[in-house]
Amino acid sequence: MSGVSLAVAPRTEPDQTITSGTKVQPKPLPHQQQQAVAGGVMRSLRVIELQLVAFIMVFSASGLVPLLDIVFPAFTTAYLIALSRFAFPSHGRTSGSQEIFHGSRLFRFYVVVGTTVGLFLPLAYVLGGFARGDEHAVRSATPHLFLLSCQILTENIISGLSLFSPPVRAFLPLLYTVRRIFVVIDWMHDVWLNKTLPANSEFQDMAWFWFGRGLAAANFVYFSINIFCFLIPRFLPRAFERYFREKDEMHAKIEEDKRSAAMNKSQQADKKAD
C-alpha cells in the first residue's frame, strides 16, 4: 500500500553446486529462514488485500465516492501509460527481481502497520458504520478506502510487468498517496468539525466517536510520514538510480556488440586479403 507490492520482496540466494555438477540443496541460514517467513507473511498479506479490494470496490460503487475520486484512478493509469511510453520507456531487459526496494524487517513491520491503519481498521469502521446506521462515518471513510483499493489493485498488476520502468512504478504510490492525503484531510474535517457527540451519550457511542477521530488522524500521520520520509527521499531516488543504471548497462552492451561485430568483420576482411 505504500508501494509494498513494488518495494518488498524476499531475496533469493543462488543455487550451490559441487564439482561433479550435482546440485546440492544448502541448509538455510537463520537470516534466510527469517526472510522466507517474512516473504510468506507479505504474500499472505497481499492475498488478503486483494480479497478485500473486491469487496470494497463493490460497496464503493454505491454512490458513496465523489466523482473526482472515481475519475482519479483512470486519469492516473492513463498518465502512467503516457510516462512509460514517452518519458521513461522500459528498456525491455530486466535482470533479477522487479522489486525496487528490498526492505528490512523493521520496514516490513512498518508496512504491516500501514496496512492495518490504512485498510483493515477503516474497513472495520465503515462496516461498523453500516451496522450502527452511521451514514456520516460510512460516507467520510469510503473515498479513502476506494482510492487505496485502486492503488493496491494497480500495484499488484504492474509489479510483474516489464512494460513499466522503475520510475513509472515509483510514481504510482506517490500519486495515489498525495491524493489520499487530501481525502484524509476531508475525512478529518468531517469527524472533527462536522460531527458532534450528543449529550449524555453512552460509553459505546463515545468510544465509537473517538475511534473515528483517532483513525482519521492516524491515517493522516502515517501517510504524511510515508510520502515525506519514504516515498520522496528513498523510494523515488532508488527507482531512478536503478533505471539509469540499467540504461547505462544496456548502452554498454550495445557498444560492446558493435565493437565485436567490427572486429569480426575486420578479421574476415584480413582472411580474404590473405
Q: In the prediction, which pLDDT does 60 show?
A: 65
Pick the most confident of 59-63, 197-201, 236-240, 255-259.
236-240
Indicate whether 203 pLDDT > 60. Answer: yes
Residue 24, strand partner residues: 16
- Residue range 55-84: mean pLDDT, rounded: 85
pLDDT band at 120 (very low <50, low <70, confident <90, very high): very high
The answer to whether the Cα torsion of 182, 184, 186, 188 is positive or negative is negative
Q: Specify whether the CB–CB gap between 134 and 64 falls below 8 A.
A: no
Query: What pLDDT, in 10s, does the model give residues 147-185?
Result: 998 898 888 888 777 789 999 999 999 999 999 999 999
Q: In the prediction, which pLDDT does 163 show?
A: 83
pLDDT band at 241 (very low <50, low <70, confident <90, very high): very high
Which comes out higher in pLDDT, residue 78 or 21?
Answer: 78
β strands within the chain, DSSP E: 16-17, 23-24
* Helices 203-226 & 121-132 angle (0-180, nearest 10): 150
Pick the most confident of 15-19, 227-231, 255-259.
227-231
Range of lowest pLDDT (61-75, 87-101, 197-211, 215-229): 87-101
- Residue range 91-112: mean pLDDT, rounded: 73
Q: In the prediction, which pLDDT does 11 show?
A: 41
Query: What pLDDT, in 10s, does the model give residues 208-222?
Result: 999 999 999 999 999
Indicate whether 38 pLDDT > 60. Answer: no
Written as nine digits, the cell of 221 is 500521520
Burial class (CB in 10 A: 0-12, 13-18, 19+), 264: exposed
CB count in 10 Å sphere of residue 47? 11
**How many CA atoms does the CB half-sphere of 217 hold within 13 Å?**
9
Indicate whether 244 pLDDT > 80. Answer: yes
CA 208/CA 137 separation, integer angstroms? 10
- Residue range 87-111: mean pLDDT, rounded: 75
b/e per residue 97-106 (b: at least 16 CB within 10 A): ebbbbebeee
**What residues have CB less than 8 Å from 242, skipping those under 6 apart?**
100, 166
Strand, helix or coil for residue 89: strand
Q: In the prediction, which pLDDT does 76 show?
A: 95
User: Domain segments of the chain: what residues?
Assistant: 35-88+102-253
Indicate whether 10 pLDDT > 80. Answer: no
